[in-house]
């Protein structure tokens, strides 16, 4: 008996050491693994459609095609922007400094014609020009700080691209062997969650797809539209500004903080029609995408509060680097949905128990 007990202890220790070793080996890449799982789960219906329609159920070819499609959507835009980010950041900072050195231009002739606020803005603008206040000593440190932060972002994007590419490599194998892995995961969860495991898996999957399509997909669409608008308007560093739009679009009502200042800057530079075009483009298309697509993909029940979206983006970047932009909101959304489900179930069970016991609900006594 003592010999068998000793063998059991040694076996458990060996398994523990093996598990720790596996965790240490995979630890540098676990963010890529998680994003690959999220990506494959969210796009599984697309993969199954490709497998049935085009590839004759040849899983290797179907998985390769789905992986290439995800690379085109998630990796190619950042791979294009990354190499030119340093030059674009420098160009934007130079334009801001040149504008400050020259001083503000004269107010446009059409400004007083704007009802109510136009004359007031025109008079204030003219007073500032007449005062001759030098803004360079005040604003230059902030411009330099923003330039350094943007250059640091360029390095973060480069590191994140490596993790994104790795996640796509993992995605290929998840696409190919996804059914088997999903069956094993479902079986394992049944041992912990019992009969509710399938419901929890379905809830997590629906939330995951809603956030990936609604938040990340909308952000990519807004960034693409913004980049096109910047190019048409002749804005320098259009790719860089499109990337910044992507990050800002992850925050509710964040994109106007990019295209509105750029449109106003064009108006100040005398590019009237370009500025009007960009402001109209942002209002009618960029913001329209946010107002239409996001509510369509994210139901009211699965919609994240603003603070969770904000914390998901910032916390994801701090925890995982660039890839955390994708991971943070998704993980918080899944946790938020599961917490709501658990609390609702616990409350229902408690109310049912109180009703059976004839007691009053909490807080009613």
Q: Exposed (0-12), middle (13-18) or buried (19+): which is 263, by Cβ within 10 Å?
A: buried
109: helix, strand or coil: coil
Residue 154: the pLDDT is: 64
Where in the chain are the domains? 31-349
Give the tokens for residue 168: 């796509």
**CB of 235 within 8 A of CB of 95?**
no
Q: Which of 77, 85, 247, 73 is nearest to 155 (CA)?
A: 85
Please state, in angstroms and rounded to a whole number, the distance separating the CA atoms of residues 29 and 36. Answer: 11
Residue 300: the pLDDT is: 47
115: helix, strand or coil: coil
In which residue are the tokens 């956030």 written?
Answer: 211
Residue 298: the pLDDT is: 63
Beta-carbon contacts of 352 under 8 Å, excluding residues fewer than 6 positions away, are none
**Which mean pLDDT values do the consecutive 10-residue runs of the chain (365 residues) have?**
70 84 82 86 85 73 88 81 67 67 66 75 72 59 67 68 87 85 71 64 74 81 91 85 84 84 83 89 86 65 65 80 78 79 68 59 46
DSSP state of 322: G
State how far Cα 2 lies from the chain centre: 56
Give the tokens for residue 82: 């990354």
157: helix, strand or coil: helix
Largest CA distance in the chain: 97
**CB of 225 within 8 A of CB of 282?**
no
Please state, in angstroms and rounded to a whole number, the distance separating the CA atoms of residues 350 and 20. Answer: 39
Residue 3: the pLDDT is: 58
Q: Exposed (0-12), middle (13-18) or buried (19+): which is 266, by Cβ within 10 Å?
A: buried
Please state, in angstroms and rounded to a whole number, the distance separating the CA atoms of residues 209 and 2. Answer: 52
Please state, in angstroms and rounded to a whole number, the distance separating the CA atoms of residues 349 and 331. Answer: 27
56: helix, strand or coil: coil
Q: Which of 345, 274, 324, 362 is nearest to 31 (CA)?
A: 324
**CB of 319 within 8 A of CB of 299?**
no
What is the helix (H) or strand (E) element at residue 256, kind and residue range? Answer: helix 256-268
**CB of 217 within 8 A of CB of 46?**
no
**CB of 345 within 8 A of CB of 352?**
no
Give the tokens for residue 322: 């660039």
Please state, in angstroms and rounded to a whole number, the distance separating the CA atoms of residues 87 and 314. Answer: 25
């Amino acid at each position: 008996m003592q010999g068998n007990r000793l063998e059991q202890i040694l076996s458990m220790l060996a398994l523990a050491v093996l598990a720790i070793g596996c965790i240490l080996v995979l630890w540098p890449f676990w963010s890529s693994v998680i994003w690959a799982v999220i990506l494959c789960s969210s796009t599984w219906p697309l993969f199954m459609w490709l497998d049935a329609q085009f590839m004759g159920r040849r899983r290797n070819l179907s998985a390769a095609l789905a992986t290439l499609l995800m690379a085109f959507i998630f990796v190619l835009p950042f791979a294009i922007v990354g190499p030119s980010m340093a030059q674009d950041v420098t160009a934007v900072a130079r334009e801001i400094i040149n504008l400050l050195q020259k001083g503000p231009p004269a107010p446009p002739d059409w400004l007083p014609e704007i009802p109510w606020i136009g004359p007031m803005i025109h008079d204030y603008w003219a007073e500032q020009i007449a005062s001759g206040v030098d803004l360079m000593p005040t604003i230059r440190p902030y411009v330099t700080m923003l330039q350094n932060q943007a250059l640091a972002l360029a390095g973060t994007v480069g590191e994140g691209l490596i993790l994104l590419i790795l996640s796509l490599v993992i995605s290929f194998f998840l696409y190919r062997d996804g059914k088997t892995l999903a069956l094993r995961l479902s079986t394992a969860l049944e041992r912990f969650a019992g009969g509710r495991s399938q419901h929890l898996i379905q809830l997590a999957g629906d939330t995951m797809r809603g956030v990936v399509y609604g938040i990340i997909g909308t952000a990519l669409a807004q960034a693409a539209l913004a980049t096109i608008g910047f190019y048409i308007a002749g804005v320098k560093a259009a790719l860089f500004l499109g990337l910044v739009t992507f990050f800002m679009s992850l925050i509710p009502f964040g994109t106007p903080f990019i295209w509105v200042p750029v449109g106003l800057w064009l108006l100040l530079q005398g590019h009237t029609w370009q500025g009007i075009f960009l402001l109209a483009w942002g209002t009618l298309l960029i913001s329209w995408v946010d107002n239409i697509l996001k509510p369509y993909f994210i139901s009211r029940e699965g919609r994240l509060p603003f603070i969770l979206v904000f914390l998901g983006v910032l916390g994801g970047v701090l925890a995982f680097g660039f890839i955390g932009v994708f991971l943070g909101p998704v993980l918080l959304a899944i946790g938020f949905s599961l917490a709501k489900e658990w609390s609702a179930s616990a409350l229902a069970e408690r109310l049912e128990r109180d009703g059976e016991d004839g007691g009053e609900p909490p807080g009613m006594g």
